Amino acid sequence: MNAQYVCTTPPWGTTWLTNDPRFVNAAARDYRLRADSYCVNAGSNLSWMSGSSDAGGASRIINGLMDLGAYELATNAPLLRVTRVGDAHELRTLYFGEVWITDAVTRTFGVRNVGGSVLSGGLANVSAPFYPAGPVEYQLGVNSAAVLAVEFAPVSGMFYSVTASLSGGGGAALVLSGVGVPEPGLAAALLLAGVVWCRRS
């Protein structure tokens, strides 16, 4: 079977979403999508969909792209989605990996508006050793996206974690995390200093 643009686990291909579809009430068999579902506008339009209807009788395409699932979410409100660049999956943690304390690494992520009106917002609560690496405000038209960037410049050999916030369209939280690693020469110097201190004590 060849299937594309489906939300399930495990995934069968690159166009499959593994996020919780976030139905209104699956226990009561209400499979309409909530406003925070990443299935909204995650599909691909086909020619036969023009003028067709979803399972509830609404237009099959609302706000530019079809939703995954049997029902389209009809809304005039802006809806924010935070993802990796080029990936429709929800991004909750942006991990920078291990970085020398004398270096800095920049990571990017995407913000997208899948709602029915213009979304205005911005990135906030980014604190040291994480720093915005470019514009922090965005204004997104219907079904449009932007790329934001954050820099990680650790100053100590330790694990860092900061929860940033993104406003507009329902908002979102994004955990920024990374590990500061002393350079080999510095690590050796610190070790030697510890040995000397122990001998003196």
Separation of alpha carbons 42 and 65, rounded Å: 7
Spans of all domains in the chain: 1-74, 82-184
Q: What is the pLDDT of residue 135?
A: 96
Helix residue ranges, H only, 20-133: none
Sheet bearing 137-140, strands edge to edge: 93-100, 172-181, 159-166, 119-124, 137-140
Task: Quote the pTM value.
Answer: 0.83
Q: In this predicted structure, what is the pLDDT of residue 196? A: 47
- Scanning 8-167, the segments in alpha helix (DSSP H) are none
Mean pLDDT by 10 residues, the chain (201 residues): 66 69 93 92 87 91 89 94 90 96 96 96 98 97 96 97 98 98 68 50 44
pLDDT at 197: 43
Among 1.10.10.10, 2.60.40.10, 3.40.50.300, 3.40.220.10, name the CATH number for the domain at 82-184. Answer: 2.60.40.10
pLDDT given for residue 199 in this prediction = 39
